Amino acid sequence: MEKKILIVDDEKNIVDIIAFNLKKEGYKILKAADGAEGVKLALAENPDLILLDIMMPKMDGYEACKKIREKKNTPIIMLTARAEEVDKVLGLELGADDYVTKPFGVRELMARVKANLRRQIVQEEPVAEVVEGSVYGRLNINLERYEVRKDDKVLDLTLREFELLKFLTQQKGQVFSRETLLEKVWGYEYFGDVRTVDVTVRRLREKLEDDPGKPEYILTKRGVGYYFDC
């Protein structure tokens, strides 16, 4: 099925370039010129992925991301002209899956789009039979349904959070550096922006752990990286 991508950006020339290249790849395009319109389209049209600029009129990308995340787990790639690390981290903390800094190359953006879409699961048909997942203590992780339960309560994870959890559980007890996790889970180089992993781990802990400050599942090996234990 044709994938639908929403572009939210007030710079028409950038939108036109992105849309042209996405259409060449076979994607259907939706456009919004401000954050408020972007949120409205995101909730009404259910796009498969959202490209979301930060600096926009009416509602900036941060607020738009926050509002979309309250209702949807759609992959979000932030588009930012700011190079400061704090701006990137803020977007990730609000629920974005990825970011690209302007000016960016078309090939880089297309790679990011494809990498995020590969991790999107669209359940168009109901599962006929409930398949039990893998049990880790109080967690039940069902890979077929992209579902995580804790004490029979379904946890609201983004696709990126699920993929990170899936990777770590499949190599239970093995410690991975942040650079390795970027390569294995995100699927491409981030050129040293390892805070991406830290933010995603923190978000995961807030959803998985009884006390995120004293994690039981995703642990830190000081000076090395992260690992899953149970």
pLDDT for the residue 1: 67
CA neighbor of 54 nearest in space, from 69, 29, 34: 34
Which runs of consecutive H residues, i.e. helices, occur in 57-135?
A: 61-69, 85-93, 106-118
For the whole prediction, is pTM greater than 0.85? Answer: no
Residue type, 64: A
pLDDT value for 119: 62
Helix (H) or strand (E) holding 49: strand 49-53
* Residue 140 token pair: 């039940």
**Backbone region of residue 119 per phi and psi (left: phi > 0; alpha: psi in -120 to 50; beta: other values):** alpha
Give pLDDT tens digits for 178-218: 989 988 887 765 454 778 889 899 989 999 999 999 999 99
CA distances from 167 to 27, 84, 141, 218 (A): 28, 29, 12, 11
What distance in Å separates the CA atoms of residue 94 and residue 100, rounded to the nearest whole number?
16
Say which range, 21-30, 54-63, 85-94, 168-177, has the weakest mean pLDDT: 85-94
pLDDT at position 184: 87
14-69, pLDDT tens digit by residue?
999 999 999 999 999 999 999 999 999 999 999 999 999 998 989 999 999 999 99
| C-alpha closest to that of 50 among 187, 41, 24 | 41
